[in-house]
Structure 1
Amino acid sequence: MSASPAVKALGWRTPLLVIIAGCTIALLNFGVRSGFGLFLEPISIANGWGREVFAFGIAIQTVLWGFGQPFAGAIADRYGSARVLAVGALLYAAGVALTAYAATPLMLNLTLGVLLGMGLAGTSFTVALAAIARMVSPERRSWALGLGTAAGSMGQFLMVPLSQGFIAAWGWQFALLLLSLFALAIIPLSSALAGKAPEGTGPKQSMGEALKEAGNQKSYWLLISGFFVCGFHVSFIQTHLPAYIVDRGLDPQTGAWALALVGLANVVGSYTAGVLGGKRSKKYLLSFIYAARAVVIAVFVMMPMTQVSVLIFAFCMGLLWLSTVPLTSGLVAQIFGPRYMATLFGIVFFSHQVGGFLGVWLGGRLFDASGSYDVVWWISTGLAIFAAIVHWPIDERPLVRVAPAAVAAE
């Protein structure tokens, strides 16, 4: 089978190489980030802070990551992903390394919060997934997006235990310095994702026109609303679950392995969601995922805390963890096309990160006020039910655009 002209123009950057590089970037980006919850207790104890200080730093990081995502996506759509990823990797590595020397809440907010938030926006799997989506046919797009998301989850499975091992062997400060090196590894990988998005074969459309078109679609706003809930869940659980487990009398290693198991199970969940998304209705799959989250969270909170219950929760939640990503990003590409996918999905992802800001900050705030995470767990359950409902009426059909020439002929 001969390659298409667009693929031939990429030279050595074959679709397979782009997919491998994009998956590895997602692995490193999400893998390093996934272990930050392990640093909540040691950093808080070392500096004599309450948990809200660290949680607020993560909250700043989360919302800046989301705020920067549409801009990073727009630059990637216009000029290609490689430069965005390289600059983002430098900021990411600097943020991780300098967090080791943050001795005041302000310094922590600037390093763990601002620098890391900007770095994560530039290296996010959102940018990598958009590059992957452009290289595959519409029939294979959902599968490829699921593969890229699964790679990010494999990063969580691999990097969280490694981060815990670094902390146990050399302390939390040196562990952060080691993790910063993994972030730097994104730079050489980014060269495989150079080149901007193809113009496509349909009617030409400017970025402003694409944004206006999406903004006028009810389905786009429903996607934005639903992805807010995903961010709330992921950030709250990722940051506070290890401490919650220790509070209930289990050891820190159980928390680390719980997060790792979430990542491992989501390799299966994300890949399966990507495969099913190519064969079944994406919106109904999303409604099912969020409804299942509500059940899993409610059962976990009501059950006695044991190692077995923690691992069962981690596995079940992992199957549902980022399985929303290939379906949500796939709906954006399916409805609006891949030309401005990084920009349009970046805006949806901003909602995800606003939810993440509230989830991680509210967890720390309510814990310091009440000594318990129970209220946040039940808020998470209610939000999951809300997300299951709002995805149901989404119109999945691709938008039909009329070419300017056709309009003039009428």
Structure 2
Amino acid sequence: MSQDAVHSAKRILWVAIIAAAATSSLAMGIRQTFGLLLLPLAAENGIAPWAFGLAVALHNLTWGLGQPVSGAMADKHGSGRVMAMGGVFYLIGCGLPALFPSNATVMIGIGVFSGFGVACAGTGLALAAIGRLAPPEKRGEYIGIASAGGSLGQAAMVPLTFSAIGGFGAAGALIMLAASAVLIIPLARNIEWRPAPRSGPPAAGLSGLPALARRSLADRDFALLTGGFFACGFQLAFLTTHLPSHIALCGQPAALGMVAMTMIGLFNIPGSWFCGWLSSRIKPETGLGWIYLVRTLAIAGFAVAAPSEWGTILFAAVMGFVWLGTVPLTSAAIARRFGVGDLGALYGVCFFSHQIGGFLGAGSGAVLMAWTGSYAAFWPVMIVVGLTASVLNWMAKAPGARGTLATAG
């Protein structure tokens, strides 16, 4: 390859990494703010807390259902086009309940449209594109850089939304989030707008997705990885949706919930980079097992300690460092096992388990709150689920020589 071609490939890669970080920041940052909206929407617009909690649960389930489909489309047609479509879905998802607030529009907008929005525009497709563009020996590290950059949105969107709620109300904050989602559309043009040239079998595409899912899940170690990912969604969806409310119910200032979610986003930046760097140096499944253990120990400590401002900030910092570290490690584990030709679709298959966990974590938390007025009974469940995930990942063996699982699309 000529020197000019090498420089051109590096430029394309770094432009894609920056754009992937920016789109992920917007897509993941928007959903990170949902927990801040629960109580204000109830007070200002009469949205029942149980309806909002179930809307976020539906959001997680829709995200999980949409991720394999959007991943298969991106593998075949390029990530950028699908991500731009995600910006449109997000615009509708946030705009609908802002303009016509009701239990039903919250369910449809946040539950369905924004779920498809993050499935198309979130980290899954962005990191799959980076995985295809990056050289194999640096793949995990570059995925980690893009994932770390994407964490900036989680840190920035939370205080912006908190301020917007205070200044313009919950509906005004949703309008701001909808306007932010529009920026995803032009940014997506810089991320694999057309499919990258590939060696080996063609991407499976939508028609080959069912067969690809069956064949991948028949692999014992991929099934263990998928089972462990359930815990990630279960724990994170509960905290994203209910942590600010839990903090308020414990008698702490409402602003502490905003601070906690911001700290999670800030500490996720070095954590995501570190986990991506680590994925090139150890077996990713081993790293995932340790992440789930650290999370679970932090949750156990937070649950048994007396509520306090500094205890909450420490908990948020620890959780933030390992918040999305599972994403580059899981992507790297899949790429090592099956290659990158169907990385978007295979990540989507694995991620569906994550979002079933997210649906149950957010939804059962909302139901528990409606029945008991407290989240106390939920923390032991979080601990058991996390410990199980650690064991499942540590049981996974290193991949042998495997070919891509793609079927003809």
Q: What range describes the TM-score normalised by the shorter chain of this pair?
A: over 0.9
1:372 to 354, 371, 374: 374
- Counterpart in the other structure of 1:32: 30
Give the whole-Å Cα distance in 2 for the aligned partners of 1:125 and 1:4. 30
Give the whole-Å Cα distance in 1 for the aligned partners of 2:181 and 2:303. 35
Evaluate the alpha carbon distance shift between residue 302 and residue 320 of structure 1 in structure 2; reply closer, same or farther with a 3 A threshold: same
> Could you tell me which amino acid in structure 2 is paired with residue 256 of structure 1?
M
Evaluate the alpha carbon distance shift between residue 158 and residue 342 of structure 1 in structure 2; reply closer, same or farther with a 3 A threshold: same
Superposed CA deviations along residues 175-216 of structure 1, whole A, max 9, x for unmatched, are: 11111111110100111121214322x466755364454132
- Counterpart in the other structure of 2:342: 340
Q: How many angstroms does 1:43 deviate by?
A: 0.8
Contact in 1 for aligned 2:292/2:387 (Cα 8 Å): yes
- How do residues 151-300 of structure 1 correspond to structure 2 at under 5 angstroms? 151-193=149-191, 194-200=193-199, 202=200, 206=204, 208=208, 210-300=212-302
Contact in 2 for aligned 1:91/1:118 (Cα 8 Å): yes
Q: How many angstroms does 1:106 deviate by?
A: 1.7
Contact in 1 for aligned 2:164/2:170 (Cα 8 Å): yes
Evaluate the alpha carbon distance shift between residue 40 and residue 204 of structure 1 in structure 2; reply closer, same or farther with a 3 A threshold: closer
Evaluate the alpha carbon distance shift between residue 254 and residue 205 of structure 1 in structure 2; reply closer, same or farther with a 3 A threshold: closer
Evaluate the alpha carbon distance shift between residue 261 and residue 391 of structure 1 in structure 2; reply closer, same or farther with a 3 A threshold: same
Q: How many angstroms does 1:45 deviate by?
A: 2.2
Contact in 1 for aligned 2:19/2:190 (Cα 8 Å): yes
> Could you tell me which amino acid in structure 1 is paired with residue 107 of structure 2?
N
Compare 334-343 and 143-152 and name the one that shifted more.
Answer: 143-152
Contact in 2 for aligned 1:78/1:197 (Cα 8 Å): no
Unaligned runs of at least 5 residues, structure 1: 404-410
Evaluate the alpha carbon distance shift between residue 33 and residue 205 of structure 1 in structure 2; reply closer, same or farther with a 3 A threshold: closer
> Could you tell me which amino acid in structure 2 is paired with residue 178 of structure 1?
M
1:20 to 18, 21, 24: 18
> Could you tell me which amino acid in structure 2 is paired with residue 55 of structure 1?
G
Give the whole-Å Cα distance in 1 for the aligned partners of 2:230 and 2:294. 17
Q: How many angstroms does 1:20 deviate by?
A: 0.9
Evaluate the alpha carbon distance shift between residue 124 and residue 357 of structure 1 in structure 2; reply closer, same or farther with a 3 A threshold: same
TM-score (norm 2): 0.93
1:70 has 2:68 as partner: yes
Identity %: 35
- Counterpart in the other structure of 2:115: 117
Q: How many angstroms does 1:49 deviate by?
A: 4.5
TM-score (norm 1): 0.93
Contact in 2 for aligned 1:95/1:116 (Cα 8 Å): yes
**How many residue pairs end up in the alignment?**
400
Unaligned runs of at least 5 residues, structure 2: none
Give the whole-Å Cα distance in 2 for the aligned partners of 1:366 and 1:94. 30
- How do residues 48-67 of structure 1 correspond to structure 2 at under 5 angstroms? 48-67=46-65
Give the whole-Å Cα distance in 2 for the aligned partners of 1:285 and 1:229. 15
Evaluate the alpha carbon distance shift between residue 223 and residue 131 of structure 1 in structure 2; reply closer, same or farther with a 3 A threshold: same
Give the whole-Å Cα distance in 2 for the aligned partners of 1:298 and 1:36. 24
